[in-house]
Amino acid sequence: MTTRIGVVTFPGSLDDSDARRAIRIAGGEPVALWHRDKDLRKQQVDAVVLPGGFSYGDYLRCGAIARFSPIMETVVEQAKAGMPVLGICNGFQVLCETHLLPGALTRNDHLHFLCRDQRLRVENDTTVWTSDYERGQEIVVPLKNGEGGYVADERTLDELEGEGRVVFRYLDGNPNGSRRDIAGITNEAGNVVGLMPHPEHAVEALTGPTTDGLGFFTSALKKLVAS
**pLDDT of 5:** 97
Over residues 28-54, the pLDDT tens digits come to: 999 999 999 887 778 899 999 999 999
CB crowding 36-63: b at 16 or more within 10 Å, else e: ebeebeebebbbbbbbbbbbbebeeebb
Helix (H, G, I), strand (E, B) or coil at 92: helix
User: What are the mean pLDDT values of the chain's consecutive 10-residue runs (227 residues total)?
Assistant: 92 97 98 90 92 90 91 96 98 98 96 96 98 98 96 98 98 97 98 98 96 98 89
Q: What is the pLDDT of residue 1?
A: 63
Q: What whole-number distance in Å separates Cα of residue 152 and Cα of residue 165? A: 13
Q: Give SS3 for 129.
A: coil
Q: Count CA atoms within 13 Å of residue 224 on its CB side.
A: 23
* From 62, 96, 198, 201, active-site residue: 198
- Work out whether strand 166-170 and strand 114-122 pair parallel, antiparallel, or are unpaired: antiparallel
The terminus-to-terminus CA distance of the chain in angstroms comes to 13
Positive or negative CA dihedral for 82, 87, 91, 94?
Answer: positive
Which residue, 167, 148, 166, 130, is CA-closest to 52? Answer: 148
pLDDT of residue 59: 83
Using an 8 Å Cβ cutoff, are 116 and 142 in contact? yes
Q: Where are the beta strands (DSSP E) in 146-187?
A: 149-151, 166-170, 182-186
Q: Please confirm, yes or no, whether 200 is among the known catalytic residues.
A: yes
Catalytic residue among 89, 96, 147, 201: 89
* Residue 89: active-site member: yes
| CB-count exposure of residue 83 (10 Å: 0-12, 13-18, 19+) | buried
Number of other CB atoms surrounding residue 199 within 10 Å: 27
Dihedral class, residue 53 (left if φ above 0, else alpha if ψ from -120 to 50, else beta): left
pLDDT given for residue 109 in this prediction: 94
